[in-house]
């Protein structure tokens, strides 16, 4: 029997979105995972970026038990997360032309690296310019976005383009414009956003693919183990030492 409570409806909506991703984005997930595996095998480094709530899925990839140790967070002060005060400052900074270039100029990103950019709308200046400038530097870009925004909204970048237009691989989260899955009589606005759970799941599917591709090539994936299991710290210390030149969150 279907659960028609708001909680049940939200969980059903999230499950339906994940099924759509599985059935409709499988090729893109495989391509993204292979791109990351190629980067690792070729000596490149991995980075992830997101602004505001989109940063949550990017952060979930970094220093993560069961995740790739080489995944580094590309942080932009005042934009990553909602800890900046006031929180609305982050949204304002995401619309500033030129900021991405400044960030990349002072970052360790270089040709041969891979960058995951998470932006639900993909319309703001920062993620669009981040993708454009990164590719100019020879960095491969994976964009995680809702392609629907490109048909329902206008770009906020001076080029008039969206994140999806500047990526080597695009992962469409299939999230509806507005990022709210439920409506209820008496509630004046739609509510219950699903973008975080869906985007995080998509990216973990990409990580799983990358690990499997590396194994198929005879390369041990540089995975981290939980520090809360016996031997976890020792395992991680070995990985950190082996890949010290490609891990920046420990420096």
Residue 93 reports pLDDT greater than 90 = no
Beta-carbon count within 10 A of 233 CB: 13
What pLDDT shows up at residue 81? 67
| Inter-CA distances, 185 with 67, 182, 189, 190, Å | 42, 10, 10, 10
What confidence score (pLDDT) does residue 42 get? 97
Section 137-142 average pLDDT? 98
What is the Cα–Cα distance from 69 to 170, expressed in whole angstroms?
A: 23
- Residue 96's pLDDT is 72
What's 176's DSSP letter? P
Average pLDDT over residues 146-158: 93
Task: Report pLDDT for 16.
Answer: 96
Write the CA distances from 135 to 22, 43, 92, 104, 213, integer angstroms: 28, 18, 24, 11, 24
More confident residue, 59 or 82: 59
Q: Tokens 């606005």 belong to which residue?
A: 189
Average pLDDT over residues 86-111: 84
Q: Which two tokens stand for residue 134?
A: 């990164």
pLDDT of 1: 52
Dihedrals φ, ψ of 65, to 5°? -55, 130
Over residues 179-188, mean pLDDT: 92
pLDDT at 30: 98
- Tell me the C-alpha distance between 237 and 199, whole Å: 29
Mean pLDDT, to the nearest integer, of 48-54? Answer: 91
* Whether residue 2 has pLDDT greater than 70: no
Mean pLDDT value of segment 8-16: 95
pLDDT at position 251 over 70: no
Cα–Cα distance list, 172 to 123, 198, 203 (Å): 14, 10, 11
Average pLDDT, rounded, for the chain = 93
Residue 215 near residue 221, CB atoms below 8 Å: yes
| Interval 241-248 mean pLDDT | 95
Q: Given this model, what pLDDT does residue 25 score?
A: 96
The yes-or-no verdict on residue 150 having pLDDT over 80 is yes
Would the pLDDT of 61 be above 90?
A: yes
Query: Above pLDDT 70, what percent of the chain?
Result: 98
Give residue 38's pLDDT. Answer: 98
Query: With bands split at pLDDT 50, 70 and 90, how would you rate the model's confidence at 57?
Result: very high
In this prediction, residues 76-96 reach a mean pLDDT of 74
Stretch 206-234: mean pLDDT:
97
Question: Is pLDDT larger for residue 108 or for residue 77?
Answer: 108
pTM for the whole structure: 0.94
Interatomic CA distance for residues 176 and 151, integer angstroms: 11
The share of the chain scoring above pLDDT 90, in percent, equals: 83
Encode burial over 83-100: b for 16+ CB neighbours within 10 A, e otherwise: ebeeeeebeebbeeeebb
């Amino acid at each position: 029997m279907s659960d028609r409570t708001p909680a049940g409806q939200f969980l059903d909506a999230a499950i339906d979105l994940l099924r759509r991703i599985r059935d409709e984005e499988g090729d893109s997930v495989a391509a993204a995972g292979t791109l990351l595996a190629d980067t690792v095998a070729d000596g490149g480094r991995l980075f992830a970026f997101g602004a505001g709530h989109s940063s949550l899925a990017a952060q979930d990839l970094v220093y993560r038990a069961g995740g790739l140790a080489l995944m580094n967070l590309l942080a932009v002060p005042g934009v990553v997360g909602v800890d900046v005060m006031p929180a609305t400052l982050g949204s304002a900074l995401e619309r500033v032309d030129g900021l991405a270039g400044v960030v990349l100029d002072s970052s360790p990103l270089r040709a041969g690296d891979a960058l995951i950019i998470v932006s639900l709308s993909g319309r703001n200046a920062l993620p669009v310019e981040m993708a454009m400038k990164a590719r100019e530097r020879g960095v491969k870009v994976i964009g995680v976005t809702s392609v629907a925004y490109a048909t329902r909204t206008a770009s906020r970048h001076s080029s008039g383009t969206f994140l999806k237009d500047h990526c080597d691989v695009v992962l469409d989260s299939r999230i509806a414009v507005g990022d709210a899955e439920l409506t209820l009589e008496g509630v004046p606005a739609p509510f219950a956003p699903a973008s975080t759970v869906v985007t995080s799941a998509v990216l973990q599917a990409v990580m799983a693919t990358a690990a499997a591709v590396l194994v198929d090539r005879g390369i041990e994936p540089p995975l981290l183990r939980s520090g809360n299991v016996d031997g976890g710290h020792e395992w991680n210390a070995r990985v950190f030492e082996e890949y010290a030149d490609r891990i920046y969150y420990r420096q």
